[in-house]
């Protein structure tokens, strides 16, 4: 994820969580990621939200949970933005207490959040009130409210925001150091030729064995994983830069423009130019 900014979260190792309350937030932070879980409550504004390979309009209330290392950002031209952010360590998913049956829904919530989760419907208002209340709490009462928020989210209607392309430490890549090694290599060399043979050699496996192993561990073929990351990067460049489609094509590792357009259209149901126009119109609208 070298094309994204890594945020340093002010979470101390002795903190269960931290809560940040910004009544006059400025959405001037670029697409970024960090190894912590994050819950974002965005109020009193409209705009677009980027989570992984998803880019959607939001407002006037947006409630989203992102898992570790999942790129995200909010964009808005409004001046009335109010954002409350809860951040907590990825180690929570490994706490022994989460192995107890009563905590099973919360553990599943944490695992599902690697794909980004958006909360809507009547539960959103209830969770919103709890998060606002949490900003005024300290001590053990804050801990019980935090757990109540996770429980409410675990049992609420929620929408998955992104595809399986962003497997991270919470998800499937954590189950194999070899997969993690390959995924890190892909992210650092996305603009280069990334053949399956090269990846297989990196972890001392044959092409066929590696192909089967990668799909079993990530739920997606090697070539589709690489192309999904490239398209996600292309979407970010199309929305955040003035680079031409041709420049973006090669910057994202595609060997020719026609192949880039074909794969982009297959995943986004529009061409790169149409996508840029769509995002521009959405920002003007909201």
**Percent of the chain residues topping a pLDDT of 70:** 90
Q: Give residue 158's pLDDT band: very low, low, confident or very high (50, 70, 90).
A: confident
Residue 169 burial (10 A CB sphere; 0-12, 13-18, 19+): middle
The CA distance from 241 to 181, in Å, is 30
Q: Is 55 exposed, middle or buried (0-12, 13-18, 19+ CB in 10 A)?
A: buried
pLDDT at 259: 93
Global confidence as pTM? 0.61
Task: Give the residue with greater pLDDT, 173 vs 47.
Answer: 47
Query: Locate tokens 């066929």: which residue?
Result: 208
Each residue of 33-62: pLDDT tens digit? Answer: 888 899 999 998 888 888 887 888 888 899
The C-alpha atoms of residue 61 and residue 43 are separated, in whole angstroms, by: 5
Which domains are delineated in the chain?
A: 5-160 (2.60.120.280), 175-285 (1.10.10.60)
Comparing 111 with 79, the larger pLDDT belongs to 111
Which residues, listed in sequence order, are joined to residue 69 by a DSSP beta bridge? none
Q: pLDDT grade, residue 282 (50/70/90)?
A: low
Q: Which of 216, 53, 63, 42 is nearest to 152 (CA)?
A: 63
State how far the Cα of 82 lies from the Cα of 42, in Å rounded to an integer.
Answer: 6
Residue 170: pLDDT band (50, 70, 90) is: very low
């Amino acid at each position: 994820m070298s094309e994204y900014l890594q945020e340093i979260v002010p979470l101390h190792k002795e903190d269960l969580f931290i809560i940040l309350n910004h009544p006059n937030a400025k959405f001037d932070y670029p697409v970024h990621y960090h190894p912590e879980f994050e819950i974002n409550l965005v109020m009193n504004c409209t705009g677009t939200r980027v989570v992984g390979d998803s880019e959607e309009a939001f407002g006037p209330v947006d409630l989203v949970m992102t898992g570790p290392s999942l790129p995200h950002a909010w964009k808005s031209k409004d001046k009335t933005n109010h954002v409350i952010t809860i951040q907590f360590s990825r180690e929570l998913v490994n706490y022994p207490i989460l192995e107890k049956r009563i905590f099973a829904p919360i553990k599943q919530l944490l695992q599902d959040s690697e794909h980004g989760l958006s909360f809507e419907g009547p539960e959103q208002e209830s969770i919103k009130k709890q998060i606002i209340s949490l900003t005024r709490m300290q001590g053990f009462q804050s801990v019980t409210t935090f757990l109540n928020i996770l429980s409410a989210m675990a049992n609420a209607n929620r929408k998955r925001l992104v595809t399986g392309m962003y497997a991270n430490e919470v998800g499937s890549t954590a189950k194999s150091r070899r997969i993690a090694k390959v995924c890190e290599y892909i992210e650092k060399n996305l603009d280069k030729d990334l053949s399956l043979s090269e990846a297989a050699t990196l972890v001392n496996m044959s092409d066929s064995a590696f192909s089967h192993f990668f799909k079993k561990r990530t739920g997606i073929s090697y070539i589709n994983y690489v192309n999904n990351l490239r398209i996600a990067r292309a979407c970010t460049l199309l929305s955040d830069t003035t680079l031409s489609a041709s420049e973006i094509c090669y910057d994202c590792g595609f060997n020719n423009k026609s192949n880039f357009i074909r794969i982009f259209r297959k995943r986004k149901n529009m061409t790169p130019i149409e996508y840029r126009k769509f995002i521009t119109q959405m920002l003007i609208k909201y």
